Amino acid sequence: MARHIPLPGARIAGSGPSGLEDDPISLGLRKLWAEVEREEVPDDFLDLLDQIDERRAASPDEQRPQPAARKGRVQ
C-alpha cells in the first residue's frame, strides 16, 4: 500500500504575504499543489529507492553517506 510522505517546509494553501490569495489562477495552482502533496508515494517507487540504497551500501570502495530512513516506510 502506498504511503503519504509530506514535503518539508510545505506551505498551507492560500497563506502568505503575496496579496494573490484571491487570484483565481493562484488559488487553482495552490489547490493543485495541495492535492499533489496529499498523494501517496507508491510502494514500487519506495522499493526502487531501497534497492538503490542497498547497491550503494554494497560498494564499500566508494565513499558515500549512508541513506537516512525514509518516512512512510515501515521497517
pLDDT in tens, 43-68: 999 999 999 999 999 887 655 556 66
Q: Residues with Cβ < 8 Å from 59, sequence gap 6 or more?
A: none
Distance CA 1, CA 44 (A): 9
For residue 71, the model assigns a pLDDT of 60
Average pLDDT over residues 26-39: 93
Q: How many residues would you count in the chain?
A: 75
> Is this structure's pTM higher than 0.75?
no
* Cα–Cα dist 26/31, whole Å: 9
